[in-house]
Amino acid sequence: MKYKLNTGRFDGTRGARPVAAGSLTAGTQAGRPAAGGTRATRPAAGGVAVDTTAAERRDWPAVGVVIPTRNRPELLRKAIDAVRAQDYPGPLRVIVVFDQAEPDPQLASADHRPVLVLANWRQVGLAGARNTGIAALDTELVAFCDDDDVWHPSKLRRQVDALVRTPDAEFATCAIEVEFEGVPHPRLAGTDAVTVEHLARSRMSMLHSSGFLARREALLESGVIGPVSEDAPGSQNEDWDLLLRAARRHPIVHVDEPLVRVLWGRSSFYAYEYSTKISSLRWMMARHPEISGCRPGAARVYGQLACWSAAAGDKRQAWRWTRETVRNNWREPRAAIALAALTGAVKVETVLTALHRRGHGI
């Protein structure tokens, strides 16, 4: 699972543009004028005041937030606090799903933003934990948040507003702020609608799972998108897979502002499990012909396979994937990284660390 380490606090002072709590663009909501009525200020968890009318609270759809976790109590509490401190005017509840760990009942809360604590009863791993949370909810919308990521206070409101303004859309994302060694790097997509073509050409790493928001029914077993794939090796690339399945239905609504802070680095459980990285990429290629049908996109994945094979010491496979990379796109820089690693000129880990310092990965 891609559990990471994040000790910072995202208060919106970097990256994201602050927006007045409880307001919508030009005083409208989902394309409709905001209903009138007596305005009341309600304190949200974390001390953020939510100023909204009773009618506005009724009009905003209920959102459930699924937070999978594993043995990170202090970081988990920060993630929960950031979710409950959202300036979102509508109903909001949190489900914490403990995977391969004993649930902590002390986290449960029954106030206006309740927290439910569950054990993962599906496939072990991140995907199964998320599906456990989705199935346990009854909200119209569902959002994901990793146990060590931090949301900007306006994250949910801005995403829900964007999603409901596009009635046919079923899925929304936002940009992120990557933090590595204490330095933040905003990662923007440069678009407000993400298509299959975007995702086939690039992994679109700024579309992090902690920024996912979807119509819950679409992610059920019987849903038009379906649940998170639990057969993804090591629960890796299951988020890319979900994005592609969602984009086939309708372009994904994207809020191109860094509304989630994510930390990259050695703290990922799978940072150096190269066999898992290789298996998950091959799983994606077999599952999504759109990737192999896009030469730059295929070259990108083949280049990653070459790099991870070289890092794992499998020179034969590294050469094989390097040839495939060049055949599809000779300009793909990952081919050069793999070749340098094969010749001993550089270690893949060294290149990865240098890229992380710039907010990028291989």
Question: Could you read off the pLDDT of 95-135 as tens digits, one per residue?
Answer: 999 999 999 999 999 999 999 999 999 999 999 999 999 99
**Pick the residue with more confidence: 42 or 27?**
42
Q: What is the pTM (predicted TM-score) of this model?
A: 0.83
Q: Which residues contact 26 (CB under 8 A, 6 or more apart)?
A: none
Q: What is the pLDDT of residues 344-361, one digit of tens each?
A: 877 877 766 776 666 666
Q: Is the pLDDT of residue 38 over 60?
A: no
Is the model's pLDDT at 62 over the cut of 50? Answer: yes
d(CA 16, CA 260): 9
- Do residues 19 and 255 lie in contact, with contact meaning Cβ atoms separated by under 8 Å? no
Q: What is the pLDDT of residue 11?
A: 52
Instruction: Examine the pLDDT at 253 and tell me if it is beyond 80.
Output: yes
Amino acid identity, residue 127?
A: A
Q: Mean of the pLDDT values across residues 287-302?
A: 97
pLDDT tens per residue, range 4-16: 334 344 454 333 4
- pLDDT, tens only, 197-224: 999 999 999 999 999 999 999 999 999 9
User: What distance in Å separates the CA atoms of residue 200 and residue 223, rounded to the nearest whole number?
Assistant: 23
What is the 3 state secondary structure string of the chain?
CCCCCCCCCCCCCCCCCCCCCCCCHHHEECCEECCCCCEEEEECCCCCEEEEEHHHHHHCCCEEEEEEECCCHHHHHHHHHHHHCCCCCCCEEEEEEECCCCCCHHHCECCCCCEEEEECCCCCCHHHHHHHHHHHCCCCEEEECCCCCEECCCHHHHHHHHHHCCCCCCEEEEEEEEEECCEEEEECCCCCEECHHHHHHCCCCCCCHHHCEEEHHHHCCCCCCCCCCCCCHHHCCHHHHHHHHHHHHCCEEEEEEEEEEEECCCCCCCCCCHHHHHHHHHHHHHHCHHHHCCHHHHHHHHHHHHHHHHHCCCHHHHHHHHHHHHHHCCCCHHHHHHHHHHCCCCCHHHHHHHHHCCCCCC
Question: How many angstroms separate the CA atoms of 254 and 46, rounded?
Answer: 26
Strand partners, 97: 68, 118
